[in-house]
Chain A
Amino acid sequence: MHREAVIEVSKFARLTFVWVGIIFGAVWAACWLVGIALPTWIDQTFQPPAVALAWSNTLRVIVPLVAVMVFIPINAMFMVLAERRALALFTVRKGPNRVGPDGLLQTAADAVKLLFKEDITPRGADALMFTLAPIVFFAPSIIGVIPLLAAATNNHGLFAVANLPTGIFYVLAVSSIPVVGIVMGGWASNDKYSLVGGLRSAAQAISYEIPLVLAVITICLMAGTLDVVKIANQQAAVPIGDQAVPAGLLGWNIFGGGALVQAVSALQAGAPDAAFRLVAAVLLALCTVLLFLIYITGACAEVNRIPFDLPEAESELVSGYNTEYSGIKFAIFFLAEFTNLFVVSTIAVVLFLGGGHGPFPGFDEAAAAQIERVLHELSGPIGWLFNSLIDGPTLVAALWVIIKAYSLVIFAILVRATLPRFRIDQLMDFGWKRLIPLSLILLIAVTFLRELV
């Protein structure tokens, strides 16, 4: 029994490595092609230079979009497979292991199957709305990822264009659109179960967006900015006096954004109010941990994961808002659901878990330097192939973001493997009577504590 479990876990780890490799490789190849190779070729080939430059710059600007368009489908494929395999692990089963080596290609096969399936519009359905609903549901998850790219790649030149000074505000605004798609789909299906599912979804999304946004606002308040890159980078080092000290794990916003380090250094320096500041820092760290939990809860509800998957509650509403969908439209709903899960995980990583910075102070720089050295040893066309797009810090940051984001995804899967579903009235009670007051209290508490540290 124990041995079998070890084998299954190692298979799961191998599968994850292969898929992350595929994701990285595909995104890198697409970005290199659109951002480096094609513009360089245009610049060198076409005359006059001004026109060529206009074309090549256009290509360079759309790199973030290309990266996202390549990333999302492959990532969703991996996440579906990972979810099924991880759930199998948690529930003493095997999971899909027949298509490709170890079931590696299962979701690719599923995607092909869904694409070739007949696209049915039920009788009496509003065809236009029925078709628009998956698009309205999916589009925000694409445009919502883009500002996060800069934070995830350590503000790499090609992705910095996508960064917004009000990035987090934009992401939150966009992430509340999908619910419109769900309600549209539920209503247009001409099915009572879908309708109830859609309405439930609206009620749930509205209730749980409030604590979620309050948690995010509190973090922005601590950071003093809405810029995701700045929020991520602030967590790498803690300002003590007039120098920035790398703090690793303790610098992350989930542990009070470096307040603990500052308080301890004040204690060492023998400041008169040091003990008081330490208490405030510990309280602040507690508050931020709670904020993180609130964010995770709100995010679970926002992306309709168990225990908040009421819009598609299978034992009650058959499949909720997507009961009547099949083929490509269903695939888009499915894709968007998993992308949304990844997006909320990435936001949590950027806001709370240090973005692209690792938990060990000094480790990132060493790793980046090592990667740089290896890259610089490559010469000729291969060297150009790699060096033109990747640099050490970018790769390290992207890896950290992806590791942390997938850890949160695995956590969501674990929750799904454990908990039953809430009832709708209990869900509302929990949202309005517990989470919202708590997040409001935390907002005020963090405001004061941050000043006291």
Chain B
Amino acid sequence: MATDLLKTSGLKTDEMIINMGPQHPATHGVLRLLLTLDGEFVKHCEPVIGHLHRAQEWQGQNRTWFQYQALIDRVDYLSGMFTSWAMARAAEKLDGMNIPLRAEYMRVMVSEMNRITSHLLWLGTYLIDLGAMFGFPFYPFREREKLLDLFEAIAGQRMMFNYIRIGGVMREAPAGWFAKLKQFTQEFPDRIDEYEAIVTKNPIFLKRTKGVGILKKELAMEYGITGPCLRGSGVNHDLRKFRPYSVYDQLTFAVPVSAGDGDTWDRYMCRIKEMRQSNEIIKQCMEKIPGGTSEELRERRKECNSCGKEDCQHCGGDLKLLAKKQNAGLRIKAGEAFDAVESPRGILGCYIISDGSDKAYRFKWRNPSFTNLSILPELLVGHPIADIMAIFGSIDVILPDVDR
């Protein structure tokens, strides 16, 4: 490095301590990095977290199950479906519920859609981090808008869905929803090709990402990194395959694992490939979902006049959406349970102790962003300032998810 050269020639140089954040345009919310710089190179890095702490776990212990379901989307605001799902799965495990098959398929569909929106937002902001300031980032947002519109139609909200509930999902999709989603899944691969055409082969992009922020396989496993960061380092680990939950064992999809050495470009490619796989999963779900599209189901329910009986072949059994009634008196059996889902950022787990009342006795979240952020000092040391954002962006941290 340049500074070594200066030192050998007898010049005195000084280190500079610089605060990156919490008010900084590129720290994705409010992360503070306490950097010790030697010239432009990072010698030491200390992430200071906690600026967004909202006591999510404490809130969970002081609100009824029914109330808290509406709050947990805020834990990781870019993938609310997954936080809801993790808590729902833990509570269902405790309660011993059987989730109707249609609800399971709906859950897989909406959460894979959410994975796509999350990765799309990551793609846009990551390019902003790399300095493609006003240009390309809005193209991923164009596709993301379409999915958000679909979320709005089905859940009533664009980001804080409160759609996946303990016992199933909240609503049936409105008329035309499946057709729109189908159209989206048909054109989305072309859109990914577009992004790839402008980004993946861009020489400046390659220069900025290839060989930058190399995360070794062993180090990643030591730190407990999960999600695309781990798979980008070449570890084949995905809960959806490794320990299939919900209906993932009935779907065919590949887990993209990088063959490279785990630099930022590998993590980028992992996410791009994951979006394609998610698209395939949604397509399969739409074919396999019991009851077919919402219009078909509505036609069938006319025959039994929406009787709602458990054994009705038109609206009971697999075709139900909720296994448990949703009201303020929602109670979960006493005991403790942990369950996890594979969120866009990694393994998102929820640990619950219930005393059988309408509130949880203890909540604990296992957040992928928090674990993934811990690798940051290891990756940053020795890199110039410009690479900080290239590396930090590539591990895709959501600060509310870190601080809860």
Contact = CB atoms under 8 A, between A and B. Distances in A.
Interface of A: 87, 90-93, 192-193, 196, 306-307, 309-310, 313-318, 416-426
B386 A424 contact: yes
B386 A313 contact: yes
B336 interface: no
A417 B136 CA distance: 6
Given A92-B139, A423-B208, A315 B134 contact: no
B24 A91 contact: no
Nearest to A425: B384
Nearest to B128: A315
B40 interface: yes
B134 A420 contact: no
Contacts of A317: 385
Contact of B386 (A192, A318, A416, A423): A423
Contacts of A425: 384
A307 B204 CA distance: 9
Contacts of A314: 25-26, 131, 133
Contacts of A313: 131, 386
A266 B142 CA distance: 56
A423 B127 CA distance: 14
B134 A416 contact: yes
Interface of B: 16, 18, 24-26, 40, 127-139, 142, 198, 202, 204-205, 207-208, 384-389
B384 A424 contact: yes
B385 A196 contact: yes
A416 B204 contact: no
Contact of B384 (A92, A418, A423): A423
A425 to B, nearest CB: 7
Contact of A316 (B127, B204, B207, B389): B389
B40 A196 contact: yes
A418 B198 contact: yes
B24 A318 contact: yes
Most buried by B among A91, A313, A316: A316
Contact of B387 (A93, A310, A416, A423): A423
A114 to B, nearest CB: 20
A245 B205 CA distance: 47
B132 A419 contact: yes
B200 to A, nearest CB: 12
A416 B137 CA distance: 12
Contact of A420 (B40, B130, B139, B385): B130
B40 A424 contact: yes
Contact of B25 (A315, A419, A422, A424): A315
Contacts of B18: 192-193
A261 B135 CA distance: 40
Given A307-B131, A309-B131, A316-B26, 10 more contacts: A91-B135, A91-B138, A92-B139, A306-B133, A314-B131, A315-B128, A316-B388, A420-B205, A421-B131, A426-B208
20 contacts: A87-B135, A91-B137, A91-B139, A92-B138, A93-B138, A196-B385, A315-B26, A316-B385, A317-B385, A416-B134, A418-B135, A418-B198, A419-B135, A419-B202, A420-B132, A420-B204, A421-B386, A422-B208, A423-B386, A426-B207
Contacts of B127: 420
Contacts of B136: 91, 417-418
Contacts of A315: 25-26, 128-131, 133, 389
B303 to A, nearest CB: 41
A424 B385 CA distance: 9
A314 B134 CA distance: 11
Contacts of A93: 138
A309 B135 CA distance: 14
A144 B247 CA distance: 69
A361 to B, nearest CB: 38
Nearest to A309: B131
Contacts of B198: 418
A343 to B, nearest CB: 23
A437 B287 CA distance: 60
Instruction: Give 3 closest A-B pairs by Cβ, nearest first.
Output: A421-B131, A417-B135, A315-B26
Contacts of A306: 131-133
A424 B389 CA distance: 14
A407 to B, nearest CB: 19
Nearest to A315: B26
Contact of B132 (A193, A421, A423): A421
Given A314-B25, A316-B26, A420 B131 contact: yes
A321 to B, nearest CB: 15
Contact of B130 (A196, A417, A421): A421
B92 to A, nearest CB: 41
Contacts of B142: 92
Most buried by A among B40, B131, B136: B131
B208 A420 contact: yes
A155 B128 CA distance: 45
B134 A91 contact: yes
Contacts of B202: 419-420
Contacts of B132: 306, 418-421
A199 B169 CA distance: 57
B37 to A, nearest CB: 9
A425 B385 CA distance: 11
